[in-house]
Each structure stands twice: as C-alpha cells, then as structure tokens.
C-alpha cells in the first residue's frame, strides 16, 4: 500500500472521527515507521486528497468555534501536529484489550516511543518568552496543533469498557521522574491543555511560560469563561493552589516574571467576572471560596497585579473592580485569607 | 522741415507743443499711425501687455484715415502729456514699425528719438487737412474717414490656437525633461449642447466636484446691442475639478471648457485671445459673462446669469435590485423632498437614482463593521460574547431594530458569527455585505444625498426598499448586561456559560489478529535515551 493511501486510511479511521465525532478506531500502534510514512504522505500531497480536505474543514470548524477564522490549516504547515495525533493513537492503544496484555518490556518500549515522539514534537516549538511572543507565526502554530488534537477531550472509551480518558490516559507516567502524559502534552501542544474543558484543571506549571504570549492568554481566559464564570474561577483557583504546592517542592521551577504572569492571569479572570457582575454570588463550594480569597489576597499584597494601570485610570472601571475586590475579601473571610497566604507563600515570594 | 529742439525752447512753430519738466517735447495728445488693422491689433496687444489699458481707454481712439492718395491707415490716438509714459509707448511703436507723434489736432510732430533727444519742432503746413503728421521720413496730411470702436475690433477678432491645445493647457509642461505633477485648475467653466448638461451635472456631483449652474438672463436689456450674439444656454462653473474628469468630459461632443481671464471674461481652454483682455476690463459691463470660443469671431454674451449650487439640483431616489425571488420592490422611493430655495425658470431638477444592487464580485476587501443579529439568535451571541477582546467590547455598540439587534463599531463584529454582516461605505451608513449602493459615490456625497445627520445611523436592510434611520444616541455599549436584559425581554432561554454540544467520539478498539501485531514483536525498551 502506498504511503498516501495508508495515511488516508488512518485519517478516515481515527483522525477525522476524533475531530468530528463518531467512531474512532484504535488499532496496532503506528510506531516510528508509521509516523515516518505519515510524514512522507504529507509531502506526497495528503492535504490535497479528499480526506485531507475534509480534515482541513474540520480543523477550520474547531478554530471557528473559538472565534478564529483562518484558511491555512494544512498538515504541511506543521507536520509535527500529525506526529502528536499518531502518538495519541499509540497511547490509546495501551487501553486496548491487547495493549493491556503487553509484556512489561514491550509496554516500556511503547512508552519510550511515545515519550520520544512527544519530545520531538515539543522541540519544534520555540521556547515561550516575550521575545517569541512578537512572532505571530508561533501563535498560528499553536492553533494548528490544537485544531488537530482538540478532539481528544471529546473522546470516550467504548461503551462497556471501564476507565476514562482523564483517569487512565492522561496520568500515564512516561518517565522515571513520574512525569505524566499531560505534562508532556503541555510541552508539545500547550493549547490542548490550556483550553481543556472541565472537570480537569486547565493550568499546569509547564504552561505558565506560554501565558506570557498575550494572544494565548486572551484565548485561554475567553475560552475558559465560556464554560461558566463560576466554574472557570474555581478551576483557575485550584490550579494555582496546585502549582503553589509543586513550587514548594521545587522553588526554582518558576521565575519571578512567570509567577507574576500567573497572578496576572488569575486577576484577568476576576476582572472579567467583575465587569460582568460586580457583586460575586455567594460561593457555595470550597474551590470558589478559595478562588475569591486568592484574588483578594493578590489585591492586598500586590495591587498592581490585581488592578492593571489602564483599568485603574478609568474611574468608572476602577470603582467597579475595587467594589468587587471588597466583596471577594468579605466572602472569603480573614481566616481563609491567612490560610491562602500561607499556602501561596512560594508564589508570592519575590513579587 | 523738422528740426531738433534745444533745452528751454521758449516757443514752438507747431501749436500745442511744449516741453515738460525734463525738457522733452510733448503735446496734449499722442498719435500712432498704423498701416493695417493687423498692426493695430499688434499694437494693442503690446500696449495691453506693457500697460494697463484701462488707464488709457477713456481717451483711446482708433480712426480710419486717408492720405491724399486715398490710401487708408489707422491712427491710434490717446490724450497724454506724460513723457515717461510716451517713452514706453515709443519703445512699443518701434517694435511694430509705426511712428509715434505728439501734439494736438491737427498737427502731430514725431516724438523724440536718437537724433533729437528732446524732440522735434516743425514748420506747419498751410493746409493741414483733418490732421498732419510731421516725421523725419515724411510729412503727410490725412483725412479722417470714420472711427473704429475698440469693442467693434474685439468683436472681429478670432482666438489663436495654443500649441498642444486643450491637453497641453490642462497638463503642466516638462521642466528640464521632468514631467511636473498635474495640478487641477482652481476654476473652470463648461458649456455643452442641450441635453448633455443634466448627465454632466450628475457626473460632476458623483465625483464630488463643487460646481454651480449659471443660467443667463433671457430678457433683453437696453444697453446691449441687438446684433450681439447672446447665449441662453446654461453654463457650469466648476471649482478645482480633477484633470482626469476634465479630459473625459472634453472628449464629449459639444463640450467646451473655458478658463476665466479677468472678471466676466471666459476664454476657451487651448486658445488665447490676441489681446490681453484682463487689461480691458472697463470695456465690459460687470455682471455679464463674455464667452470667447476658439474658431469663432468675437464673443457670446451671457447676461447676468443667476447661480444655482449643484446640490440644490439633485433629486435622489432609491431603487432596489429585483431579487431572484421577486421579493424586493422596483418602485423608486423618494428619499427626501427636493428643496429649491430660490425661484428660477430653468433648469429642471436632476434626478440621481441611488440603487442598492448586488455586488458583482462578492464582498469587498474592507472588513465589515456591523452585523444584524436576529432576535432568535440572541442566545448564540451571549455564548460568543466571551470571545471578544476587551478593546472590541468597549468600541462596539448595539441598537435594537425590528428585525434584530444591530451591532456596530469596528471589524470585531466578524467574531459575532451568528448575524448578517454589513459594510460601512460612509460613516454610520450601512449596507448588506453582498450589496452596494450604485452609483459608487464618495462618502460625503452619499451622506449628503441621504441627508444624513452627524449623529444618525442609516441602515439598508436586504429586501427592504426604505432604509432605516436611527439616532446614534439610541445605541448602547454592547455588554453582557444589555444582552441579558434583551434576552429576558425576548424570552430567549439562556444557559450561562453554555458551550455548543459536539458529537462525542467513541473510541473503538479493533480486534487484532496474531499477524497484525507483528510490529510489536521487536518492541522493547532501548537504553540509548535513558
């Protein structure tokens, strides 16, 4: 079978159903040879085949749902996007009845292959920094990768089989440091994790440098708010507490600038909430109380991060936000505030 | 017979001569003998270029004279005793080869020259006739035949074609081989045949040219000669028209472009009058327009024309292209009443038919700046609201229309994908994206045609014959609060923070045969990257 025909078959059986819904078939792992065949098929004109066109259309729709209208969504623009999808296929094979019966050495070999492919894919992305933020092509690349992998959040195991994607696949440990698949994915496809729908936490420590890119941050905040303001605040608050916990173990994991970025993103969520409704509703659950307390904490500790200068200059806006901050502080209570200060001490250090 | 004069001469043999303060011999008048009418024109041309003829015109006379052999000549005389002025005139007369004499009727003695620096005196003839000229080369008596009026002379003259004609007159000359940027003339006039003025006025208005229509008075006036040519057709005065437009207009038959030369004098572009008419201003009554056309003798008089600004002549109507389903009306609909504030007998109002038609090449390259979201899609808008950036939120405004919520402000409306997008060909004037207003007019013209106020929104909705007009003050900033309020009024079921449901993907694990697992047989963990 020619590479192009073989790749087209994979699109029909797995990649397209993963994006558009339906039945995605997980079969024998593609491994390195299969990925090489896919890359050769891209060079041979996979984008111009009928299935390639269908895939482009499906990716356009994924981006349009985010409010991004673009025409250039070809595989040739970022071949490593297809490498990630193929690796996801191989990862899902571990949930296959045959995959569960693999011997330990074969399983270790497959995991090594998965890790290697994800590292290759992440190396083709530049390091996130304010300098790279000026290059619009990087944001475009992130969107392209997301548009190919976004279907992962929509995938469910076949009826009757036990387990779930969140519980079984994402925590899959890929290396000796117990680093799970999710953290590797955060390196090679940051938007996949940042735009993760509930109930999983959207923010990992690996993703924070990417939030220095304003376009990524705007997309992250807007998309998460679409799942509901209350839910978004709770999830970002919980993510921040989890990162604070990780930071206590590895204090050098985040630079001062990255810590500031994290607090700024939290503030952005609350600012959007403040503009929609200056009076936060009574928090019924613990995580939302924590989220409000975190914002009240940063407003007291570093007010410049909680109230940006441009908002502060607008009398109407600033009074609205200050009123919201006051309400957050009251809802959280003094005890919770001091508790949060203690838990987030690593994050507040040096600000 | 002539003898040079010394300084401080006490008496002259020719009566009327005397010496001025500089000692130059002058008389009460000066006379120039010209042998043909062409020389008269040349002399007048030189005089008008050198001096302001308006100063000399009150005493300037042209007489046809005959000598004793009945050879006729022209005697141009003027009352002056100013030797400085006569010095300048003498220079000009030498150019045309005519003698300049001074004195008083009937004796005129040659003006000073190289041989007689202060002038001449002469022995007068005993029978001088009507007048006698005494010059170093001849002494001749003349009989006055008739007087030639300057206006009669001008009425016989023909314009001279300029090299390059109209095109050269409109374009700037090359300087040192470098083409200069063509500047549009500040004021030009246009005449055309009957029937053409209306389309030309419409074209001028569509190009945004400031123009007015000049309608001549058709009633007779006692001070104007009966035989004079008079124009009854209206003229068009244009202010700073573009050169491209002028070249296009000039290619039409019967269209002539005229440039003003002085007040009330118009000369066809590409031609020049033999005389500098701007120095003969006092000859022509103010208020009239004198039109000099190339290829014709004399001028055409347009008597005290009344001026009508072009805007007052425009009578706009709106027609909608018939849709394929025949839903739209073809009936022209008046946009606003035609208003003429001054009474005039001519001309009729010019009908400008503004047409909302399908755009042939699809949408424009300009991004849309407004969208109309049907009321039943308000819930979708609420879901997408979070996608808008802060900048977009602050600049977008919304106003409720019968057919939906109209959101406008900037191109961020493209993100509100649930509505129909509209273009903004002029500020606060919106047309559907697939349509355009024909003819294509500059924004200012469109606004003035629709009588659009500064704070007024005009929205053309597809299928509707009459555009909607809404005051901008009725709009509000687009906000979640506004949308929520509207949604509750419209009875739209809202799910806060809801996402579009996407069909779930079922992961199906394919049964594998023994041989299909061959790729896995050699799979094992390598140590190279550990």
> pLDDT at position B29, please?
94
**Burial zone of B127 (CB within 10 Å; 0-12 exposed, 13-18 middle, 19+ buried):** exposed
Per-residue pLDDT reduced to its tens digit, A274-308? 877 666 665 568 888 899 999 999 999 998 888 88
Residues A295/A266, Cβ–Cβ less than 8 Å: yes
Find the domain containing B485 and state its range: 314-495
Domain boundary among B251, B277, B304: B304
Length of chain A, please?
351
Binned at pLDDT 50, 70 and 90, residue B388 comes out as low
Binned at pLDDT 50, 70 and 90, residue A240 comes out as very high
Same domain, B134 and B190: no
Same domain, B449 and B490: yes
> pLDDT at position B181, please?
56
Does B233 reside within a domain? yes
Binned at pLDDT 50, 70 and 90, residue B320 comes out as low
Same domain, B214 and B268: yes
Same domain, B357 and B489: yes
Nearest C-alpha in A relative to B515? A28
Does B512 reside within a domain? no
Distance, in angstroms, between A133 CA and closest chain B CA?
A: 18
Helix (H, G, I), strand (E, B) or coil at A110: helix
Q: Is the pLDDT of residue B14 over 80?
A: yes
Per-residue pLDDT reduced to its tens digit, A159-207? 656 667 777 888 888 888 888 999 999 999 999 999 998 888 888 888 9
Q: Is the pLDDT of residue B343 over 60?
A: no
Binned at pLDDT 50, 70 and 90, residue B339 comes out as very low
What is the tally of structural domains in chain B? Answer: 3
What beta strand segments (E) does B261-360 contain? 265-268, 271-272, 289-292, 300-302, 306-309, 314-320, 333-334, 350-358
Q: In which region does residue A147 sit, left (phi positive, over 0), alpha (psi from -120 to 50) or beta (all else)?
A: alpha
DSSP B234-253: -EEEEES--HHHHHHHHTST
- Please answer yes or no on whether B496 and A31 come within 8 Å at the CB atom: no
Same domain, B396 and B473: yes
Same domain, B88 and B218: no
Domain boundary among B271, B304, B337: B304
Distance, in angstroms, between B516 CA and closest chain A CA?
A: 7
**Tokens describing residue A115:** 């890790």
Q: Which residue carries 């047989």 as its tokens?
A: B521
Per-residue pLDDT reduced to its tens digit, B265-316? 999 998 998 888 888 878 877 778 889 998 888 888 888 788 888 877 877 6
Distance, in angstroms, between B529 CA and closest chain A CA?
A: 9
Domain spans of chain A, in order of start: 1-194, 200-351
Give the dihedral sign, CA A153/A158/A159/A164. negative
Name the B residues in 484-503 with CB < 8 Å from any A CB: 496-497, 499-500, 502-503
Q: In which region does residue B451 sit, left (phi positive, over 0), alpha (psi from -120 to 50) or beta (all else)?
A: left
- Please answer yes or no on whether B519 and A28 come within 8 Å at the CB atom: yes
Residues B23/B8, Cβ–Cβ less than 8 Å: yes
Does B87 reside within a domain? yes
Rg (CA), chain A: 22
Helix (H, G, I), strand (E, B) or coil at B130: coil
Same domain, B119 and B217: no
Q: What is the mean pLDDT of residues B328-353?
A: 52
In chain A, which ranges are continuous DSSP H helix?
3-10, 16-20, 31-43, 50-65, 79-93, 97-100, 104-123, 130-133, 136-149, 181-188, 190-194, 214-226, 229-249, 256-276, 286-301, 303-306, 309-313, 315-332, 334-343, 345-348
Same domain, B241 and B141: no
Does B517 reside within a domain? no
Q: Is the peptide bond before A199 cis (omega within 30 degrees of 0)?
A: yes
In B1-60, which ranges are continuous DSSP H helix?
37-50, 53-56
Distance, in angstroms, between A338 CA and closest chain B CA?
A: 31
Residues B277/B261, Cβ–Cβ less than 8 Å: yes
Same domain, B139 and B192: no
Same domain, B292 and B404: no
Does B172 reside within a domain? no
Cβ-Cβ contacts under 8 Å, B497 against chain A: 225-232
- From CA B507, how far away is CA A26, in angstroms rounded? 7
Cβ-Cβ contacts under 8 Å, A20 against chain B: 503
Q: Which residue carries 């659950």 as its tokens?
A: A285
Same domain, B345 and B445: yes
Same domain, B350 and B279: no
- From CA A9, how far away is CA A167, in angstroms rounded? 29
Q: B417 CB near a chain A CB, below 8 Å? A: yes
Q: B183 CB near a chain A CB, below 8 Å? A: no
Give the dihedral sign, CA B50/B51/B53/B57. negative
Does B502 reside within a domain? no
């Amino acid at each position: 079978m020619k590479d192009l025909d073989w790749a087209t078959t994979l699109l029909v059986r797995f990649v397209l159903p993963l994006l558009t819904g339906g039945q995605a078939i997980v079969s024998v792992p593609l491994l390195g040879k299969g990925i090489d065949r896919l890359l050769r098929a891209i060079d041979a004109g996979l984008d111009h085949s009928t299935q390639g066109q269908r895939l482009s259309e499906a990716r356009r729709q994924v981006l349009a749902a985010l409010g991004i209208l673009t025409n250039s969504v070809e595989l040739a623009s970022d071949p490593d996007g297809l490498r990630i999808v193929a690796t996801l296929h191989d990862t899902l094979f571990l949930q296959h009845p045959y995959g569960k019966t693999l011997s330990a050495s074969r399983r270790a070999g497959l995991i090594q292959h998965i890790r290697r492919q994800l590292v290759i894919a992440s190396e083709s992305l530049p390091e996130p920094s304010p300098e790279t933020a000026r290059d619009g092509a990087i944001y475009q690349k992130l969107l392209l990768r997301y548009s190919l992998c976004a279907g992962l959040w929509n995938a469910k195991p076949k009826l009757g089989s036990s387990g779930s994607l969140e519980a079984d696949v994402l925590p899959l440990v890929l290396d000796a440091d117990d680093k799970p698949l999710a953290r590797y994915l955060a390196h090679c496809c940051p938007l996949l994790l940042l735009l993760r729908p509930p109930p999983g936490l959207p923010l990992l420590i690996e993703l924070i440098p990417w939030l220095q890119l304003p376009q990524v941050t705007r997309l992250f905040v807007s998309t998460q708010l679409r799942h509901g303001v209350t839910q978004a605040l709770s999830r970002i608050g919980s993510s921040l507490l989890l990162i604070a916990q990780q930071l206590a173990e590895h204090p050098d994991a985040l630079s001062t600038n990255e810590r500031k970025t994290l607090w700024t993103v939290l503030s952005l969520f609350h600012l959007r909430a403040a503009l929609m409704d200056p009076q936060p509703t009574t928090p019924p659950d613990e995580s939302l109380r924590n989220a409000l307390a975190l914002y009240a904490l940063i407003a007291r500790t570093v007010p410049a991060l909680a109230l940006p200068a441009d908002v502060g200059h607008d009398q109407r806006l600033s009074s609205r936000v200050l009123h919201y901050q006051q309400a957050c502080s009251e809802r959280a209570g003094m005890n919770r505030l001091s508790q949060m200060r203690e838990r987030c001490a690593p994050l507040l250090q040096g600000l | 017979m002539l003898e040079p004069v010394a300084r401080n001469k006490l008496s002259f043999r020719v009566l009327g001569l005397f010496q001025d303060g500089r000692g130059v011999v002058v008389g009460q008048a000066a006379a120039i003998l010209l042998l043909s009418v062409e020389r008269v024109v040349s002399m007048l041309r030189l005089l008008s270029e050198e001096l302001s003829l308006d100063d000399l015109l009150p005493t300037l006379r042209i007489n046809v004279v005959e000598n004793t052999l009945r050879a006729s000549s022209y005697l141009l005389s003027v009352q002056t005793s100013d030797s400085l002025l006569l010095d300048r005139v003498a220079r000009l007369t030498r150019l045309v080869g005519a003698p300049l004499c001074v004195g008083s009727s009937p004796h005129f003695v040659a003006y000073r020259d190289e041989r007689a620096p202060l002038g001449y005196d002469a022995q007068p003839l005993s029978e001088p006739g009507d007048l006698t000229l005494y010059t170093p080369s001849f002494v001749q008596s003349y009989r006055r035949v008739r007087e030639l009026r300057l206006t009669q002379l001008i009425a016989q003259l023909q314009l001279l074609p300029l090299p390059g004609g109209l095109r050269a007159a409109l374009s700037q000359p090359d300087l040192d081989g470098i083409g200069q940027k063509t500047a549009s003339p500040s004021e030009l006039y246009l005449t055309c045949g009957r029937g053409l003025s209306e389309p030309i006025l419409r074209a001028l208005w569509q190009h945004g040219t400031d123009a007015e229509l000049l309608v001549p008075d058709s009633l007779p006036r006692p001070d104007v000669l009966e035989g004079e040519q008079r124009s009854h057709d209206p003229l068009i005065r244009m202010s700073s028209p573009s050169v491209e437009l002028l070249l296009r207009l000039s290619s039409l038959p019967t269209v002539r472009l005229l440039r003003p030369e002085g007040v009330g004098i118009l000369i066809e572009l590409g031609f020049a009058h033999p005389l500098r008419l701007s120095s003969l201003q006092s000859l022509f009554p103010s208020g009239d327009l004198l039109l000099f056309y190339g290829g014709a003798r004399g001028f055409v008089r347009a008597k005290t024309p009344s001026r009508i600004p072009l805007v007052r002549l425009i009578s706009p109507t709106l027609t909608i292209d018939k849709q394929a389903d025949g839903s739209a009306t073809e009936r022209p609909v008046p946009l606003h009443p035609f208003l003429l504030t001054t009474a005039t007998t001519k001309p009729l109002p010019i009908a400008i038919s503004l047409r909302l038609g399908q755009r042939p090449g699809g949408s424009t390259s300009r991004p849309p700046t407004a969208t109309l979201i049907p009321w039943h899609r308000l819930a979708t808008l609420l879901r997408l609201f979070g996608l808008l950036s802060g900048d977009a939120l602050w600049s977008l405004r919304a106003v409720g229309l019968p057919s939906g919520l109209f959101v406008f402000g900037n191109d961020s409306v493209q993100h509100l994908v649930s509505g129909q997008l509209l273009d903004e060909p002029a500020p606060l004037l919106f047309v559907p994206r697939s349509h355009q207003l024909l003819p294509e007019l500059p924004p200012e013209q469109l606004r003035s045609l629709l009588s659009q106020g500064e704070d007024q929104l005009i929205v053309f909705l597809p299928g509707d014959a009459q555009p909607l007009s809404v005051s901008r003050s009725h709009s509000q900033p687009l906000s979640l609060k506004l949308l929520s309020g509207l949604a509750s009024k419209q009875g739209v079921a809202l799910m806060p923070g809801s996402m579009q449901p996407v069909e779930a993907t079922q992961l199906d694990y394919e049964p594998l045969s023994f041989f299909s697992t061959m790729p896995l047989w050699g799979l094992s963990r390598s140590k190279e990257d550990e």
